[in-house]
Each structure stands twice: as structure tokens, then as C-alpha cells.
């Protein structure tokens, strides 16, 4: 029986596509790279930005760090609000809270932005804690985020904890910390990516997630 549920933010609780892709597009343009089709930038949703800029645009550490600073110029003012809560998430969180579950956000997005987004959509009150990365670039890997969340909240009975996320990073990070994981296929991880990562459970909609959590909790 799971008493503690960790939720990823982007692609799991909210759909951040517009804000993230347009902010990446803005950052690339400042770096002299012109990507007219923002749709091509959806792979930036989920992984740490430093890794994404390095992997997708072959930047070195210094270039990727500069690109992140440009990204935040736009994201901190506009992009974080170009976002929407997935249909059914609010009801899911309310029911889990009513059942006495401890809910925590565990995200690679900086904590300061995560809190602002949750406040903006009136979701913050559902969560005991919001654990994200630091603005200085530390604690960006999902495994490190989950590890810190477990330590910060003094969570030791790992068989009572489960992670919910939409990318392989969520699955890998959960396994690294010895907790079960549900992969949600309505986010930004492909079916192949999620199946290959081998989560304990996989669902394709918020409704399926709701039913699964009721069944296993």
C-alpha cells in the first residue's frame, strides 16, 4: 500500500509545451541558432536543460550554461505561465489528499519556478513539499531529486513510496532510489522510451492513473 506519491511536474501534472519550447527557441536565437519550428523542441520537456542543449545542439558546458541563462530570461517572465493543468489532475490530487496520502512534487525544473507554477494554478496546497533542482545547476538529475526528497521528508519505508512521471528519467531515477514507478504515456515520453525503461506500471491517461492509484493504494 502506497502512502507517499511523488509526482513529476512537466508532462505529468501540467502540459508546459508552449512555454518551454518558445523559451528554448528564444535561447537558441540568442545563441545564433534559428529554429523556426518550435514543435521540434518538445524533446526539451523532461530532461535537465544542460543535458538537452548539449545533446540536441552539441553545445559544450559553457555554451549550454549561457543558453540556459537566455532561456530563463523569457521563461521566468512569460514561459512558466504558458502552461495548463491536464484535465482530471486537480480531481485526482484532491481525492488522494482526502485519502490521507502524502503528495510531493519531484521535478528537474528549478524549485523556484515549480512553486510559482503550482501557485499560479492553485495546486500548491495539495503538496507537502516541492523538490526541484537548484538555479546553480545542481540537483538536476531525477535520481538526485528523488534522493533529496526522500531524505528531506525522512521517508525510509520505500515500499510505501511510488513515483509518477512521463519520461525515462523518472523511471530510472525511481529505480535508482529503490521505489516503484508509474509511467504516464499522456506526457512527453514515447511509448518505446517508457517501455524500454521498464516501469512497474504504465497508463495512457489521467483517468487510467486515477483508477490505478485507487487500486494499488
Residue-wise pLDDT for 123-157, tens only, equals: 999 999 999 999 998 999 999 999 999 999 999 99
* Residue where a domain stops, chosen among 57, 81, 105: 81
**Which pLDDT tens digits describe the chain residue by residue (217 residues)?**
899 999 999 999 999 999 999 999 999 999 999 999 999 999 999 889 999 999 999 999 999 999 999 999 999 999 999 999 999 999 999 999 999 999 999 999 999 999 999 999 999 999 999 999 999 989 999 999 999 999 999 999 999 999 999 999 999 999 999 999 999 999 999 999 999 999 999 999 999 999 999 888 7
Q: Say whether both 38 and 139 belong to one domain.
A: no
pLDDT at residue 217, rounded to an integer: 79
Q: Domain end: 81, 105, 136, which one?
A: 81
Q: Are residues 21 and 66 located together in one domain of the fold?
A: yes
Active site residue 166: no
Q: In sequence order, what E strands does the chain have? A: 4-7, 14-15, 84-85, 102-110, 129-133, 161-165, 180-184, 201-203
Question: Which CATH number characterizes residue 58's domain?
Answer: 1.10.150.240
pLDDT tens digits, residue range 67-83?
999 999 999 999 999 99
- Grid coordinates representing 4 are 507517499
User: Is the separation of the CB atoms in 142 and 169 below 8 Å?
Assistant: yes
Same structural domain for residues 52 and 96?
no
**Half-sphere CA count of 72, side-chain side, radius 13 A:** 15
What are 46-55's contacts with CB under 8 Å, separation 24+?
Answer: 46/10, 46/11, 46/108, 46/166, 46/167, 46/169, 46/187, 46/188, 46/189, 47/108, 47/167, 47/169, 48/108, 48/133, 48/140, 48/141, 49/140, 50/137, 50/140, 51/140, 53/27
Number of domains in the chain: 2
The verdict on 74 and 48 lying in the same domain is yes
Same domain, 41 and 135: no
Q: What is the pTM of this model?
A: 0.95
Q: Are residue 72 and residue 118 in the same domain, yes or no?
A: no
Query: Which residue range(s) make up the domain with 40?
Result: 17-81
Amino acid at each position: 500500500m502506497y502512502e507517499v506519491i511523488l509526482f513529476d511536474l512537466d508532462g505529468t501534472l501540467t502540459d508546459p509545451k508552449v512555454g518551454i519550447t518558445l523559451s528554448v527557441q528564444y535561447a537558441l536565437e540568442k545563441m545564433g541558432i534559428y529554429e523556426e519550428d518550435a514543435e521540434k523542441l518538445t524533446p526539451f520537456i523532461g530532461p535537465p536543460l544542460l543535458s538537452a542543449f548539449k545533446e540536441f545542439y552539441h553545445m559544450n558546458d559553457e555554451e549550454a550554461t549561457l543558453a540556459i541563462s537566455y532561456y530563463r530570461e523569457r521563461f521566468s517572465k512569460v514561459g512558466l505561465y504558458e502552461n495548463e493543468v491536464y484535465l482530471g489532475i486537480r480531481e485526482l490530487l484532491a481525492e488522494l489528499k482526502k485519502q490521507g496520502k502524502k503528495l510531493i512534487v519531484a521535478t528537474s525544473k528549478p524549485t523556484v519556478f515549480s512553486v510559482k507554477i503550482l501557485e499560479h494554478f492553485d495546486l500548491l496546497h495539495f503538496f507537502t513539499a516541492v523538490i526541484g533542482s537548484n538555479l546553480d545547476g545542481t540537483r538536476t538529475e531525477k535520481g538526485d531529486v528523488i534522493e533529496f526528497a526522500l531524505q528531506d521528508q525522512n521517508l525510509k519505508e520505500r515500499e510505501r513510496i511510488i513515483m509518477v512521471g512521463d519520461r525515462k528519467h523518472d523511471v530510472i531515477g525511481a529505480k535508482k532510489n529503490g521505489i516503484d514507478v508509474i509511467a504516464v504515456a499522456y506526457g512527453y515520453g514515447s511509448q518505446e522510451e517508457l517501455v524500454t525503461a521498464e516501469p512497474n506500471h504504465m497508463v495512457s491517461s489521467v483517468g487510467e492513473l486515477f483508477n490505478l492509484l485507487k487500486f494499488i493504494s
